[in-house]
Amino acid sequence: MKRILLGATAIAALIANSAQAMLYDVNRSFSLGPDSATLTGTVDIPLGSYTIMNMGASPFTSVNLTLNVNSVSYNVNNALTSLISGTGRFFINATPTTLIFNTANANGGNPADLVFSDTLSLSGNYYAIGHNGAPGFEAAYTSTAGFNVPATLPTDFASAVVPEPSTCALLLLPFGLHSIRKFRSRK
């Protein structure tokens, strides 16, 4: 029985450690006049609070987003921080349920804009959210269109992807079967 309890404790610790990185589902849309944009897909980031300043490193471990502007799609799989500088601060709060974006100390000369781009530079097609000369905005800039709209910050940018209970059960099944076999073999 002691071994089963130790095994269960080890499994719980393993699950708790693997749950530290969260997958978030992004589903945003905005429009201005005849132009419309959607940003859909997933981003992965460890749970926690992050402050990006002076082009600091992106905390995202994976970005898999599609920017659709006026029915033209672009894969924007790079998180860029090159438009966060000066006194501008971009805040990311990754909770177990939501991904929240916010800014501070930003203005025209001190931008705090997080960019998701199809290249490793701003020369490609991209989605941006933040605060600069346009306080609180989200934008789409592509080879076919470019526009921005007001956005209220802080904003719930994305929702955590919660695995289906059947998926969790399947992940735990091998551990349960092993424990049952051990218990039966001792009888």
Reported as a single tens digit per residue, the pLDDT across 152-162 is 999 999 999 98
Q: Reply yes or no on whether the pLDDT at 17 is more than 70.
A: no
Averaged pLDDT score across all residues of the chain: 86
Instruction: Provide the pLDDT confidence category of residue 187 given band limits of 50, 70 and 90.
Output: low
Dihedral sign for Cα atoms in the order 49, 55, 59, 64:
positive
CA–CA separation, 33 and 12 (whole Å): 52
Give the contacts of 93 (CB within 8 A, at least 6 positions apart).
49, 50, 99, 100, 102, 154
pLDDT (0 to 100) of residue 162: 83
Q: Reply yes or no on whether the pLDDT at 3 is more than 90.
A: no
pLDDT (0 to 100) of residue 18: 47
Q: Could you give the percent of the chain with pLDDT greater than 70?
A: 76
Domain assignments of the chain as residue spans, ordered by start:
22-163
180 versus 19: which is more confidently predicted? 180
Reported as a single tens digit per residue, the pLDDT across 45-70 is 999 999 999 999 999 999 999 999 99
CA–CA separation, 8 and 47 (whole Å): 24
Q: How far is CA 14 from CA 9, 19, 24, 170, in A?
A: 9, 9, 21, 15
Q: Give the residue-averaged pLDDT of 31-41.
A: 98
Reported as a single tens digit per residue, the pLDDT across 97-141 is 999 999 999 999 999 999 999 999 999 999 999 999 889 999 999
User: E strand or H helix at 84, and its extent?
Assistant: strand 78-84
> In 10 A of CB 5, how many CB atoms?
10
Q: Give the residue-averaged pLDDT of 19-39.
A: 93
> In 10 A of CB 99, how many CB atoms?
21
Q: Could you give the percent of the chain with pLDDT greater than 90?
A: 73
Q: Reply yes or no on whether the pLDDT at 171 is more than 60.
A: no
The answer to whether the pTM exceeds 0.85 is no
With beta carbons less than 8 A apart as the criterion, state whether 107 and 133 touch. Answer: yes
> In 10 A of CB 75, how many CB atoms?
15
DSSP 127-143: EEEEESSSSSEEEEE-S
CA–CA separation, 177 and 89 (whole Å): 50
Instruction: Provide the pLDDT confidence category of residue 21 given band limits of 50, 70 and 90.
Output: confident
pLDDT (0 to 100) of residue 168: 46
Q: Would you state the torsion angle of the CA atoms of residues 130, 132, 138, 142, taken in this order, to the nearest 10 degrees?
A: -120
